[in-house]
Amino acid sequence: MSDERTELLDMIVTDHAFEHPRSEIEPKQLAAADALFQELRGKIPVLERRARDTGVDRIERFEDIVPLLFAHTVYKSYPESFVENGRWDRMLTWLSTLSSDDLTDIDVAGIKDADDWLDRLKANGCTVLATSGSSGKCSFLPASSEDKRLKLRHFKHATGWPEAVGENQYVSFWTGPIEGPNSAIEAGQFQRDLWAKPGAFYNLIKEPLRITDVSAGAAFAKKMREGKATPSEMAAAEARSKEMGQRVAAGMGEFVDTLIAHRHEPIQLGGLWAQHLQIIEMAYARGVKDGEFHPASRINAGGGVKGVVLPDDYKERVRKFYGDVRYPGAYGMTEMAQVMPRCEARRYHRPPGLIWLQLDKPGEKLVSAESGIVEGRFAFLDLLYTGRWGGCITGDKVEIDWSESCPCGRPGPTILDTISRYAQTGEEDHIGCAGTIDSYVRGAMAA
């Protein structure tokens, strides 16, 4: 690891991790980016091909990083027939084009589905996070064991900032499953291991999340939108949904009872907005009043609003019920190891080891980023990753204030709390380099 990269990543354990001015951080980021690029280009076939074709041999300016970024869609660029026909050996060949390790020697005998495949990779030292979009096709993102260690360290020191979070001091509640190859589940595991008191972690959904089931559900939803679902398929989906709803409803009562029983202690609770509203309704029915929770409690709420009808004042209802507790926030995504915590001014701050790159809508050019608030497509180079190349163009539209300071008084730049998507559910997000990067993947697989 280069001296600059080590220094930047190690800043997260200090008290002033998010208080370094641009003039101090950015020259080190460029030096670290070049060192990481030189280390990984010979290990990751697609990165090497991209470097050759764009003529980028060194990273000396932030503009030099842009041609080397991968569209977020590259992590689902495999032919769907590989999964449908159980060609897990070919899936290993595909994943190896995006990984710094050659994974093709892993034994695939006996693998039945994508979840078995992910388990086999994990057993061989390659952790893969999977996520399914509206198309039903999964993205698979490889990471090394060292990546996960550093990610846990970052999560420990960044989550909850600017306040410190006491280790293993909370009664901790998680409204989702706690096993599965998903980044949200990984966050739940981090929460459990870092902050829950021994024996004081409660999660709502007991069954592990199976990415095969998630993908099948998303694929069916797409068929419904396109009017291609058959009556028998719709009936089967309705039966599955009803069964799952009954299981979750049965568990929710016990979950809420346990939560209420601990409300006068410091608790930690993470959930979607709709889940919080359900908890509130059930708590009111049990006689709980607004504002009865311990002031040191930490309540995380967000997401889950697509296709869900919520009252206009849903955020206000949540804050009114839990009262004067702590409401930390952060911006992150599956493709990124380092979360960006939110300050008192509701701005998201940049970790020293994360390079922000704001692009035009097609994701091809760096937009002006000298000062002031600028809108554009969010991209980044995450200097933490070595299991894969951490440069990614996202589907997010963000406003970044490139001023030297944030309204909270700390150094900038900052991302405003106005993040949205360029493409809505079911729409295709067109990123300029996506087709080219996909062709590199196909070429590397054929080599």
Task: Give buried/exposed letters for 212-238 (b at 16+ CB in 10 A, else e).
Answer: bbbbebbbbbbbeeeeebeeeeeeebe
Which amino acid type is present at position 288? Answer: V
Whose tokens are 């509206």? That residue is 134
Task: Give buried/exposed letters for 148-159 (b at 16+ CB in 10 A, else e).
Answer: eebbeebbbbbb
Map residue 128 onto helix, strand or coil. strand
pLDDT at 250: 75
Q: What is the largest CA-CA distance in the chain?
A: 67
321 vs 312: CA distance, rounded Å: 16
pLDDT at 42: 95
Q: Mutual orientation of helices 114-123 and 88-96 as an angle, nearest 10°?
A: 60
- Look up the CATH number of domain 166-207+249-327: 3.40.50
Chunked in runs of 10, what are the mean pLDDT values of the chain (447 residues)? Answer: 91 95 96 98 94 96 96 90 93 95 95 94 92 76 94 93 89 94 90 95 90 76 76 75 71 94 96 92 97 95 71 94 94 94 95 97 87 94 97 94 96 94 65 68 70
437 vs 434: CA distance, rounded Å: 5
CA angle 403, 341, 130 (to 5 degrees): 120
Pick the CATH number of 1-163+336-447 from 3.30.300, 3.30.420, 3.40.50, 3.30.70: 3.40.50
Count CB-CB contacts under 10 A for residue 70: 28
Neighbouring-strand partners of residue 392: 70, 380
Task: Give buried/exposed letters for 395-414 (b at 16+ CB in 10 A, else e).
Answer: bbbbbbbbbeebebebbbbb
CA angle 325, 329, 333 (to 5 degrees): 150
Residues in the chain: 447
Ramachandran angles phi, psi of 139, nearest 5°? -95, 140
CB of 356 closer than 8 Å to CB of 350? yes
pLDDT at 178: 94
Neighbouring-strand partners of residue 266: none
pLDDT at 418: 93
Residue 96: which region, alpha, beta or left (left: phi > 0; alpha: psi -120 to 50)? Answer: alpha
Task: Decide the pairing of beta strands 298-301 and 267-271.
Answer: parallel
Asked whether the domain spanning 166-207+249-327 has the same topology as the one spanning 1-163+336-447, the reply is yes
Nearest to 353 by CA among 384, 326, 325: 384
Domains of the chain by residue range: 1-163+336-447, 166-207+249-327
pTM: 0.89
